Amino acid sequence: MNINFIILSIIITIALLCTAWLTFWSKKNNTNLSDEIDDLNEETGSNLEIINKNVLETNKLLETYKKVIDEKNEELKKYKDGQELLKQKGLFISLIDILDFINKFSSGSNNLDEKTKNYITAIYDKLDIILTNSGVEKFSPEINQNLLEINGCSPSIETKKTKDKNKVNLISSVIKPGYRLQTKKNEFIILKNSEVQVYELEN
């Protein structure tokens, strides 16, 4: 047998064996790689599902926190508004008391000179304008309203006698108007009650 033929046969055999081994290794690795890819996709999908679930839960939690914060902010705003309103109310009542004092002083002082009267009137008008511009207004109840059914009225010590029992506690006249502060449309806070005279049954 030719030596060259023997060497060529050996080389071909080795080549075939290497080819067979490479084919087997490639198939095995491709199978493992495919399995690994499938496992990775499955794990990634599972992780994404967990992440989405956590995101939804976090969003719900954030919405709850936002609602609580909004409620607390609203409570704080109401508290601040209430405190500010108390300060304003005290200031307005003080100004109203000054106006009442000026009225009493002016009506009880007949010996004032014209210059002093004009000066007092000017002060009164300025204070009255300040109150008006701040939303404070005078009010008077309607005559013949039942005092027990309305707010912002105080009865005078002096009453008006009547023989008609149906008129008892009805307002006969307004002695002094009251003052109220408008906070919202058609909403008022009474600063000072109106003084009224009511009917009293005559014995």
* pLDDT for 35: 54
| Reported confidence tier of residue 178, pLDDT bands at 50, 70, 90 | very high
| Reported confidence tier of residue 193, pLDDT bands at 50, 70, 90 | very high
**Of the candidates 80, 81, 71, the residue with the CA atom closest to the CA atom of residue 189:** 81
* pLDDT for 192: 93
* Residues 172/143, Cβ–Cβ less than 8 Å: yes
- Strands (E) located in the chain: 136-139, 153-155, 160-162, 171-176, 178-184, 187-192, 194-201
18-39 mean pLDDT: 51
Q: List all residues 6 or more positions away from 190 whose beta carbon is below 8 Å from its beta carbon.
A: 151, 152, 178, 179, 180
| Angle value at C-alpha 169, between 164 and 159, nearest 5 degrees | 85
State yes or no: pLDDT of 51 exceeds 50.
yes
36-56 mean pLDDT: 58
State yes or no: pLDDT of 6 exceeds 70.
no
CA distance 93 to 99: 10
* pLDDT for 170: 93
Q: How far apart are the first and last CA of the chain?
A: 160
* Residues 138/178, Cβ–Cβ less than 8 Å: yes
Mean pLDDT of the chain: 75
* pLDDT tens-digit map of 102-133: 888 777 767 777 787 788 888 888 888 888 88
CA distance 199 to 169: 5
Q: List all residues 6 or more positions away from 124 whose beta carbon is below 8 Å from its beta carbon.
A: 99, 102, 103, 106
CA distance 191 to 86: 11
State yes or no: pLDDT of 4 exceeds 90.
no
State yes or no: pLDDT of 179 exceeds 90.
yes
